[in-house]
Amino acid sequence: MARYILKTVIAGVISIFVLATITFFLIHAIPGGPFSPAEERKVPPEILAVINQKYGLTDPLSVQYINYMKSLLRGDFGISFKKMGYTVNDLIGMGFPVTARLGGVAALAAVLIGAPIGIIAAIWKESWADWLSRVISTIGVSIPGFVLAVLMMTLFSSYLHILPVRGLDAPRSYIMPVTALSLGPIAYIGRLMRSNMLEALGQDYIRTARSKGVKEFFVIVKHALKNSVTTVVAYLGPMIIALLSGSFVVETIFGIPGIGRQYVNSIADRDYSVVIGLTIFFGAMLIFANIVVDVVYAFIDPRIKFED
Cα–Cα nearest to 248, from 87, 80, 98, 33: 98
User: In this structure, what DSSP letter does residue 79 have?
Assistant: B
Residue 36's pLDDT band, with cuts at 50, 70 and 90, is low
The residues that bridge with 87 in the sheet, in sequence order, are 79
Residue 43's pLDDT band, with cuts at 50, 70 and 90, is low
Considering only 59-73, 89-103, 246-260, which range has the smallest mean pLDDT? 246-260
What average pLDDT does range 177-202 have in this prediction?
A: 87
Q: Is the pLDDT of residue 62 over 80?
A: yes
Which residues 6+ apart lie within 8 Å of 102 measured at CB?
168, 174, 177, 178, 181, 247, 250, 251, 256, 258
Q: What CA–CA distance (Å, rounded) separates 74 from 78?
A: 10
Name the average pLDDT for the chain. Answer: 81
Q: Is the pLDDT of residue 269 over 50?
A: yes
Contact 198, 133 (CB under 8 A): no
Helix orientation angle between 175-201 and 128-142, rounded to the nearest 10 degrees: 130
| Helix segments in 37-127, DSSP class H | 45-54, 61-73, 88-123
Compute the half-sphere exposure of residue 307: CA atoms within 13 Å on the CB side of its CA. Answer: 0
In Å, how far are 41, 54, 133, 171, 261 from 231, measured between CA atoms?
A: 55, 52, 19, 31, 31
What does residue 79 show for φ and ψ, rounded to 5 degrees?
-105, 155
Q: Is the pLDDT of residue 130 over 70?
A: yes
* Percent of the chain topping pLDDT 90: 3
Contact 107, 240 (CB under 8 A): yes
pLDDT value of position 38: 47
Contact 206, 221 (CB under 8 A): no
What average pLDDT does range 267-295 have in this prediction?
A: 81
In Å, how far are 69, 114, 276, 286, 294 from 16, measured between CA atoms?
A: 11, 32, 11, 10, 19
pLDDT value of position 41: 53
pLDDT value of position 303: 57
Q: Tens of pLDDT along 91-100? A: 888 888 888 8
Give the chain's domains with CATH numbers. 95-261 (1.10.3720.10)
Q: Is the pLDDT of residue 183 over 50?
A: yes
pLDDT value of position 39: 45
Q: Is the pLDDT of residue 34 over 80?
A: no
pLDDT value of position 266: 83
H helix and E strand count, the chain: 12, 0
pLDDT value of position 176: 92
